[in-house]
Structure 1
Amino acid sequence: MAGAVVAEHATLGVGIGWRPEIDLTVERLPGIDFVEVIAENVHPDRLPESLRVLRARGVPVIPHGVGLGIGGAEPPDPRRLAHLADCARALEAPLVSEHLAFVRAGGMEAGHLLPVPRTRQALSVIAENVRRAQEALPVPLALENVAALFGWPEDEMTEAAFLGELVEMTGVGLLVDVANLYTNQVNLGLSATAALDGLPLAELAYVHVAGGHSRDGLWHDTHTAHVPDDVLEILSELCARVDPPGVLLEWDDDYPSDGALEGEMARIRGAMASRA
């Protein structure tokens, strides 16, 4: 039933973000248990052949939205919700994921996944937006924590506490991006360990891992590089607290060799096993 709350999330394993530039690589990489595709880049009635091949093998494919703007003051766009729902049906997806982010207002696009104001008033609005999305989707929804460029001065809660209350109010699942936790730790001084201690990990749907670059003392979560050991350490800390249903590597540009990607997957598995 659309919008249903599930007590247990599907077991996914270890996966990678599917991108058109590495479609054949993803198909031939050993040990890929699931993939994720950017929903805005998929036409449900014209799925790429590579995704059809993966689905025929029984590999789950998760549509991952970047433009819904569920953290805004306005209700989610029905057309965007319909697209996510159509993607989920076409891909026979176990769930859909999106970001807890503010992306537009008054028809103007922010061009970035901006943090939401963590206030009681914002929580009430966002909870209603989540419920609308759940009602429109044929599968469960999971929301991802973002890498914040700044914090709102009126914030009343930590991100972990805000997400915890949102999960309790709506039953929405949680997509924890440990690279985003690392980014916020480096750039804003927010402890990744403290975030893990506060997040509702019992509702974890899956995890993101990615690399980036340091520039002028700031960490840029670019998804274009080797995953730092510090990010894998946060993944290990998460695995010491909960057995994640799935862990997925994001890589969005400057793609390395098949062997390098296979090596990254092995490092992720090693980090998971070190605290399991």
Structure 2
Amino acid sequence: MQRLGTGIGWRPEIADAVERMPDVDWVEVVSENLCPDHPPESLKRLRARGVTVVPHGVSLGLGGAERPDEGRLTALAERALALGSPLVTEHIAFVRAGGALTASPRLEAGHLLPVPRTRDALDVLCENIRVAQDALPVPLAVENIAALLSWPGEELTEGQFLYELADRTGVRLLIDVANLHTNHVNQGEDPARALAELPLEALAYVHVAGGFERDGVWHDSHAHPVPEPVLGILSDLASRVTPPGVLLERDENFPEPGELERELAAIGKAVELGRTAAVGRTAAVGRTDGVGHPAGIGRTTAGGRPPRAT
């Protein structure tokens, strides 16, 4: 993957502040909020000085029963070409139901809903991603989402599900460490186990965001400071692989620019802590596995897959 560096989600409310940030290497923009023929002047200025812009889609619904809408795929492709983007991203989620495959009218959820981690759902998701990959002019990366619920009868852990997805389709992964924390609080899932099971060679970049807990439920608000547990998961990830890019998401309740810059600095420190830990483990073991991983870290089974849960 292209080395992206440190990034921030571009939003109109903080456009001026982002332009003045000295250490921002790239930005991500919500694809559906962008007109490719008339991009904001701020994005034009950022691109002119060499800042990479990545379109981030929210409406494809790759986890739905229907094939991806051709019009939405065309729109995402147009934005990638207009911005000269090295890749585009979307979510592992479904966002609508009903319509052609049922007798009920089509309903838009207005929210990213979790895909059941079953073999059948994985088959549908893989086919939808292949359709999207064929229609896009640049590589696609897909993001794990934050879930308030899990489906009954799930057959795979989050890490296993993502591993199978990347293995079968070659799709890149956008790993949101804040979403791993959300699923830890709300579903009791272990973020370290998820990271251990992921095909980290498929990592495109990483999302980091804040949220808040209320009555034992973690809300992925993108409107609060990044908490220490999320930074800890980021350090764990960085101890396993050097992320090509790390991006701070903030969608509302925007703080003053200095606070955003301090959050970016904290993210950079968390990545550096992870790298230091990896070096320390390598030195302690005194050998590597031959591909740059400390021995015993990030290893897979003989079949190339991470160990399975039993």
Residue in structure 2 matched with residue 3 of structure 1 by the alignment: none
Q: Distance in 2 between matches of 1:167 and 1:218?
A: 30
Deviation per CA, 1:108-136: give whole Å up to 9, x if none: 11221111011111111111100110011
SS of the residue corresponding to residue 224 of structure 2 reads coil
Residue in structure 1 matched with residue 32 of structure 2 by the alignment: 40
Q: Does 1:163 align with 2:162?
A: yes
SS of the residue corresponding to residue 268 of structure 2 reads helix
Q: Does 1:265 align with 2:257?
A: no
Q: Is the CA contact (8 Å cut-off) linking 1:30 and 1:262 kept in structure 2?
A: no
1:94 to 64, 86, 111: 86
- Taking only aligned residues, the RMSD between alpha carbons, in angstroms, comes to 0.7
Q: Which moved more, 1:97-106 or 1:241-250?
A: 97-106
Amino-acid identity (%): 62
Q: Is the CA contact (8 Å cut-off) linking 1:118 and 1:159 kept in structure 2?
A: yes
Residue in structure 2 matched with residue 22 of structure 1 by the alignment: 14
SS of the residue corresponding to residue 62 of structure 1 reads strand
Amino acid at match of 1:138: P
Amino acid at match of 1:165: E
After TM superposition, the runs of 4+ consecutive aligned structure 1 residues lying more than 4 A away are none
Deviation per CA, 1:3-36: give whole Å up to 9, x if none: xxxxxx1100010000011100110011001100
Aligned residue pairs, count: 268
Q: Which runs of 5+ in 1 are unaligned?
A: 1-8
Deviation per CA, 1:158-207: give whole Å up to 9, x if none: 12111111111110000000000000101111011111111111100000
Q: Is the CA contact (8 Å cut-off) linking 1:39 and 1:65 kept in structure 2?
A: yes
Equivalent runs, 1:135-146 vs 2, <5 Å: 135-146=134-145
Q: Does 1:247 align with 2:246?
A: yes
Equivalent runs, 1:8-157 vs 2, <5 Å: 9-106=1-98, 107-157=106-156
Q: Distance in 2 between matches of 1:189 and 1:75?
A: 32
Residue in structure 2 matched with residue 229 of structure 1 by the alignment: 228
Cα displacement (A) at 1:154: 2.2
User: If the length of structure 2 is used for normalisation, what is the TM-score?
Assistant: 0.85
Q: Distance in 2 between matches of 1:215 and 1:83?
A: 37
SS of the residue corresponding to residue 275 of structure 1 reads helix
Q: Which runs of 5+ in 2 are unaligned?
A: 99-105, 276-310
Q: Distance in 1 between matches of 2:121 and 2:187?
A: 22
Larger radius of gyration: 2
User: If the length of structure 1 is used for normalisation, what is the TM-score?
Assistant: 0.96
Residue in structure 2 matched with residue 208 of structure 1 by the alignment: 207
Q: Is the CA contact (8 Å cut-off) linking 1:35 and 1:60 kept in structure 2?
A: yes
SS of the residue corresponding to residue 35 of structure 2 reads coil
